Amino acid sequence: MGKKRILLVDDEPSFTRVLKLCLEKTGSYEVREENRGTMAMATARQFKPDLILLDVVMPDIDGGEIASGIMADENLKDTPIVFLTAAVAKDEEGVISGHPFLAKPVDTEEVIKRIEKSLSDT
Amino acid sequence: MLTIMYNPDLLLEQNTKTLKMPTPLRVLILQNQPSDAQWMLAPVRQAGYEPRCQQVDNQKDYLRQMESLPDLILVDDGPQDLCGNRALSLMRQRGLDIPLIVVNGAKDHQAVVEAIRQGAADYLVKERIHELGHAVQRALADKKRRDQRKRQELEQQTIVTHIPMGLMMSDDQGTVQWVNQEMAAMFDLSPQAMVGKNWYAIVPAMEEHRKIHDRVFIGEAMEFFEARIPFPEGDRYFEVHYRPIADEAKKVLGMLTMAQEITKRKRTEAKVKQTYQDLKRSEKMLAKALADLKMSHEELKATQLQLIQAEKLESVGRLAAGVAHEVKNPLAIIQLDVDYLSKNLTFEDENTSMILEDIHHAVQRADSVVKGLLNFSASGDLVTSPEPLEAVIEGSLVLVKHELDRWHINVVRDFGASLPRVKVDRNKIEQVFVNVFINAIHAMPDGGTLTVRTRLERLGQMDPNLGDREGNKLRAGDTVVVAGVEDTGTGIPEDQLSRIFDPFFTTKPTGKGTGLGLTVTNKIVELHGGMIEIKNRNEGGVRVRVMFKAHKEK
């Protein structure tokens, strides 16, 4: 079985860079970073990820809008989305617009656990 | 023109050292022979008088001359129809009192006695005429004394009549013996109508003073008694003084009553008293109004402080929500950085591992502070349903079980039987009890006992500084379910008790608490319309009471 393709959309390059390193280190994932929210759709269409990790609060466009766009896209609509956000206080996993989310800060194990769960659900 | 008469005999006789002018003396002489008058006047002159004489020898002239009021009348035997006694009686009939001396040739003792009895000033036989000077002096002196006495009597009579005071004399039986006009007028009577009557019969109200009267009759003077006497037009008031009337042997003969009406004064006094009382009452009302105003002011101040505090907390909440995102992002980066570095150390170095571990913990600490702030700002969204409070507490105990075991803390449950449920957001109230339990656990580092009770209570008078003042909050008389949490720990220093709900206030060492636990706890309880109380226990440790209004089951 090949590596799962993960698209990281977050306006913080330092965050996407280290998360990419952490995930790829496991050898199970191929990760693409996208730091411009407005480019998220285009990158997704081109990269065709197995899962998208999506920041919520970004300068030009928010994660919810991007999620709606993906859901509306014929080719992408089945791609699982996991929100990553600094805007909530909850420790446990929750749901934003029908998608699960992880509260920042988060460690690698949590992210992997969440990714695997979402991938196995689809 | 004045004639000074120098008379050495007179001076000798009077044994005076000053030169004296003779006193003019108008004398009416009644005699048969006018020529005889001069021989009588010599001793009168010697006595220091300068007589001017009118001689008459009949009744008609006598009466006419008497009208000019002579100083002295001398009757020398008198005409047959006008003897001394007759002359006296004629004078008296005219209401006059002129000294009258009878000079007579006969030594008639009967006549002497009769003349004196009739009121003659003196009676001289002619052979003792040289004594006439002294007799005149004596008669004039007597007359002067009589005049003085009359004058005094008149004065006294005037005083008694016109004094604005009721005067009355009565005997020991209360029989009125004398009464003045003023006193009689007080009872709308004439003095004549009162004399001889019984005083207690005239004024029955005076019976009350009988004992006082008895004391007067043993010789005591009694003063300033107030008498209230009913009259058809209303009560009248009198100030009464009593004096015994006693003879020289101090035998009490009667009682003098002196009375003055003081009704006007009494009414004025009553009015003044009433005015004073009104004033007092106004003063009291004013004082009360002032106190109320003061209290309102205090309450207003307290409310204002609460508002300021609430406003402060709101600001903290809003700020926290805004800042949280900006803080959490860098924390997320650091967290993953540390993660990555920990797993990809290219060399074995104990210090580096330790430092990375420290960074990891620091990130968690910072994160928990931010989380606390977010909890605080987000605690307003409640999803409530009626819950048994014991069940909520049990849920919280499960969450802190690990900590309880770790610090060897024994839990005692003392739940009241079949208590009503409380309408709460279960998750939020679990968080409340977790915070309370964590504080208790941190206060017992050497182990101890955590006691949790639930009870139904009726709220008594509430401390106005507790709780909120808005509509859905607890009031005196409300039925509440109270959860009491007691620890056997170190307690809270008394001077810090008032600050325990302030944000970022903590007694715990740096890193152990965020200083937000009780702030969030208090806010959540308040949002539920409940109340939280934290006090030190006399036995040591802290007692926390969390109370919610009992849910009325339908």
φ, ψ dihedrals at B472, nearest 5°: -85, 15
Chain B contact present for A112, CB below 8 A: no
**B194 shares a domain with B96:** no
Measured between CA atoms, the residue of chain B closest to residue A55 is: B329
Chain B contact present for A43, CB below 8 A: no
Rg over CA atoms, chain A: 13
> Model pTM greater than 0.80?
no
Nearest CB to A15: which of B324, B336, B375?
B336
Asked whether the beta carbons of residue A89 and residue B333 sit closer than 8 angstroms, the reply is: no
Judge if ipTM > 0.85.
Answer: no
Contacting residues of B for A108, CB less than 8 Å apart: 336, 339-340, 343
Chain B nearest C-alpha distance from A117 (Å): 20
Which residues 97-156 on chain B approach chain A with CB closer than 8 angstroms?
Answer: none
Out of B160, B177, B198, pick the residue that ends a domain: B160
pLDDT for B174 = 86
Out of B134, B160, B186, pick the residue that ends a domain: B160
Asked whether the beta carbons of residue A15 and residue B333 sit closer than 8 angstroms, the reply is: yes
Query: How deeply is A39 buried, as exposed, middle or buried, from its count of CB atoms within 10 A (0-12, 13-18, 19+)?
Result: middle
The alpha carbon torsion through B337, B341, B343, B347 (nearest 10 deg) reads: 180
**How high does pLDDT run on average in chain A?**
88
Query: Cα(B298)–Cα(B288) distance, rounded to whole angstroms?
Result: 15
Taken in order A18, A23, A24, A30, the sign of the CA dihedral is: negative
pLDDT digits (tens, 9 = 90+) for A36-77: 999 999 999 999 999 999 998 888 888 888 999 999 999 999
Contacting residues of A for B324, CB less than 8 Å apart: 86-87, 89
Chain B contact present for A106, CB below 8 A: yes
Chain A contact present for B291, CB below 8 A: no
pLDDT digits (tens, 9 = 90+) for A33-43: 999 999 999 99
Ranges of chain B whose pLDDT falls below 70 = 1-19, 33-36, 77-82, 106-107, 306, 309-314, 316-318, 321, 375-381, 461-473, 503-505, 507-516, 554
Better pLDDT: B367 or A92: B367
pLDDT for B503 = 65
Chain B contact present for A104, CB below 8 A: yes
Query: Cα(B195)–Cα(B179) distance, rounded to whole angstroms?
Result: 7
Q: Which residues pair with residue B169 across a beta bridge?
A: B178, B256
Query: How deeply is A13 buried, as exposed, middle or buried, from its count of CB atoms within 10 A (0-12, 13-18, 19+)?
Result: exposed
Contacting residues of B for A19, CB less than 8 Å apart: 336
Overall domain count for chain B: 4
Ranges of beta strands (E only) in B487-540 are: 531-536
Chain B nearest C-alpha distance from A8 (Å): 14
Tell how far CA B19 is from the center of its chain.
73
Contacting residues of A for B328, CB less than 8 Å apart: 86-87, 103-105
pLDDT for B33 = 66
Asked whether the beta carbons of residue A89 and residue B331 sit closer than 8 angstroms, the reply is: no
Chain B nearest C-alpha distance from A120 (Å): 24
3-state SS track over B397-448: HHHCHHHHHHCCEEEEEEECCCCCCEEECHHHHHHHHHHHHHHHHHCCCCCE
**B512 shares a domain with B441:** yes
Residues across chain A: 122
Query: How deeply is B256 buried, as exposed, middle or buried, from its count of CB atoms within 10 A (0-12, 13-18, 19+)?
Result: middle
Overall domain count for chain A: 1
* Chain A interface, best mutation among B318, B331, B336, B357, by max A CB count within 10 A: B336
The Cβ of residue B441 has, within 10 Å, a number of other Cβ atoms equal to 20
Chain B contact present for A27, CB below 8 A: no
Query: How deeply is B45 buried, as exposed, middle or buried, from its count of CB atoms within 10 A (0-12, 13-18, 19+)?
Result: middle
The CATH number of residue B100's host domain is 3.40.50.2300
Range of the domain at A77: 4-121
**B399 shares a domain with B491:** yes
**B81 shares a domain with B121:** yes
A6: confidence class by pLDDT, cuts 50, 70, 90: very high
Asked whether the beta carbons of residue A87 and residue B324 sit closer than 8 angstroms, the reply is: yes
The CATH number of residue B203's host domain is 3.30.450.20
Report the first-to-last Cα separation within chain B, whole angstroms: 136
Contacting residues of B for A14, CB less than 8 Å apart: 333, 337
Chain A contact present for B323, CB below 8 A: no
**B216 shares a domain with B147:** no
Q: Which residues pair with residue B176 across a beta bridge?
A: B170
Chain A contact present for B369, CB below 8 A: no
The β-bridge relationship of strands A4-9 and A29-34 is: parallel
pLDDT for A117 = 92
Chain A contact present for B461, CB below 8 A: no
Residue B538 lies in a domain: yes
pLDDT digits (tens, 9 = 90+) for B389-430: 999 999 888 888 888 998 999 999 999 888 999 988 888 888
| Cβ(B523)–Cβ(B511) below 8 Å | no
Asked whether the beta carbons of residue B331 and residue A25 sit closer than 8 angstroms, the reply is: no
| Cβ(B184)–Cβ(B191) below 8 Å | yes
Complete edge-to-edge strand list for the sheet that includes strand B409-415: B409-415, B448-458, B479-486, B542-549, B531-536
Better pLDDT: A8 or B505: A8
| Cβ(B415)–Cβ(B454) below 8 Å | yes
Q: Is the pLDDT confidence value at A20 over 50? A: yes
Range of the domain at B387: 379-549
Contacting residues of A for B374, CB less than 8 Å apart: 88-89
For residue A29, give the DSSP letter: E
**B189 shares a domain with B96:** no
Tell how far CA A122 is from the center of its chain.
15
pLDDT for B455 = 92
Query: b/e for B113-130, b at 16 or more Cβ within 10 A?
Result: ebbeebebbbbbeeeebe
**B153 shares a domain with B67:** yes
Nearest CB to B328: which of A21, A91, A105?
A105
Asked whether the beta carbons of residue B336 and residue A88 sit closer than 8 angstroms, the reply is: no
Q: Is the pLDDT confidence value at A92 over 60? A: no
Measured between CA atoms, the residue of chain B closest to residue A87 is: B325
**B202 shares a domain with B310:** no
Query: Cα(A113)–Cα(A107) distance, rounded to whole angstroms?
Result: 10
Chain B contact present for A122, CB below 8 A: no
Asked whether the beta carbons of residue B363 and residue A106 sit closer than 8 angstroms, the reply is: no
pLDDT for B290 = 93
CA angle B375, B376, B379 (to 5 degrees): 75
**B148 shares a domain with B167:** no
**B441 shares a domain with B324:** no
Give alpha helix (H) positions in B47-131: 59-66, 84-93, 109-118
The CATH number of residue A30's host domain is 3.40.50.2300
* Chain B interface, best mutation among A16, A21, A104, by max B CB count within 10 A: A104
pLDDT for B15 = 47
Contacting residues of A for B326, CB less than 8 Å apart: 86
Chain A contact present for B379, CB below 8 A: no
Residue B181 lies in a domain: yes
Q: How many beta-carbon pairs under 8 angstroms link A with B?
A: 68
Asked whether the beta carbons of residue B336 and residue A22 sit closer than 8 angstroms, the reply is: yes
Out of B214, B234, B261, pick the residue that ends a domain: B261
Residue B58 lies in a domain: yes
Tokens of A65: 């809008």
State the helix-helix crossing angle for B132-162 and B37-46, rounded to 10 degrees: 70
Which residues 51-90 on chain A approach chain B with CB closer than 8 angstroms?
Answer: 57, 84, 86-89
**B135 shares a domain with B12:** yes
Query: Cα(B380)–Cα(B58) distance, rounded to whole angstroms?
Result: 141
**B452 shares a domain with B383:** yes
The type of residue at A66 is I
Asked whether the beta carbons of residue A86 and residue B378 sit closer than 8 angstroms, the reply is: no
pLDDT for B19 = 57
